[in-house]
């Protein structure tokens, strides 16, 4: 585990972007695991600003996103994680969108998927080379909330009341917030060869400390599942 306690979110994001671009320079067939939300957005901006300057291409890159809502109403399709990634990254780089994957279509309501197929697809593509993660105040990673099992794989979940409340700021009415999502599991995430975890703001301090100080997995803090990952980099503006 490498922990970089830096002065700003800006500095953390630049380092994260450069790690990805450095790997892309060495491997044009890079497989990326991607996260959504405000945490990685600045890092994506730096990638957009610099990949052409470095004469790099994403044409052969494949991506697998951590999660997606299920059953978004048509007037809220812009809140889908697919739309977020298109807007904040994919539309502004030269990636083939056929190589960008999500565990489910946000339009699905009655989901009957075999979610093992998502993990299998990742394996068939050689596994994730770099996984980008954020972290929740309660230590959740992706939609793996407290109580998630260490061996969990990609699966359909019911969103917790606290998650629905937190996400309601993006909707006109809390009743419009999707109640379900599909998420990569803890084991799915752990299998990535390299993990970059971004943590910004004092409200994340307890969760980051739980991870840094962990000696074993505590299911009450899902982030502790990463304590013994062989290549984990934490980039944070929290001062330790």
- Residues catalogued as catalytic: 67, 138, 140, 145
Instruction: Give dist(CA 95, CA 238) in Å, integer.
Output: 33
Instruction: Give dist(CA 81, CA 77) in Å, integer.
Output: 9
CA distance readout (Å), 144 to 85, 137, 177, 218? 20, 12, 18, 13
Instruction: Give dist(CA 7, CA 116) in Å, integer.
Output: 40
Instruction: Give dist(CA 26, CA 173) in Å, integer.
Output: 46
Give the pair of three-digit tokens for residue 167.
């996400």
Q: Contact, 32 vs 63, CB < 8 A?
A: yes
Q: Contact, 141 vs 34, CB < 8 A?
A: no
Pairing of strands 67-70, 155-158: unpaired
Pairing of strands 232-236, 194-199: parallel
């Amino acid at each position: 585990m490498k922990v970089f306690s830096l002065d700003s979110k800006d500095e953390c994001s630049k380092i994260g972007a450069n790690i990805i671009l450095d790997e892309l320079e060495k491997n044009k067939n890079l497989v990326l695991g991607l996260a959504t939300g405000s945490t990685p957005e600045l890092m994506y901006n730096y990638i957009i600003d610099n990949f052409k300057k470095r004469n790099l291409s994403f044409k052969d890159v494949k991506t697998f996103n951590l999660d997606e809502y299920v059953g978004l109403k048509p007037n809220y399709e812009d809140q889908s994680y697919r739309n977020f990634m298109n807007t904040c990254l994919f539309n502004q780089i030269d990636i083939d969108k056929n190589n960008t994957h999500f565990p489910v279509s946000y339009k699905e309501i009655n989901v009957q998927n075999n979610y093992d197929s998502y993990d299998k697809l990742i394996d068939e593509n050689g596994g994730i080379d770099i996984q980008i993660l954020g972290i929740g105040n309660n230590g959740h990673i992706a939609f793996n909330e407290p109580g998630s099992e260490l061996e969990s794989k990609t699966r359909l979940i019911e969103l917790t009341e606290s998650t629905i409340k937190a996400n309601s700021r993006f909707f006109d009415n809390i009743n419009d917030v999707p109640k379900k999502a599909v998420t990569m599991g803890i084991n799915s995430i752990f299998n990535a060869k390299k993990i970059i975890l971004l943590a910004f703001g004092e409200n994340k301090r307890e969760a980051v400390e739980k991870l840094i100080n962990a000696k074993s997995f505590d299911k009450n803090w899902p982030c502790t599942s990463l304590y013994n990952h062989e290549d984990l980099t934490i980039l944070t503006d929290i001062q330790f």
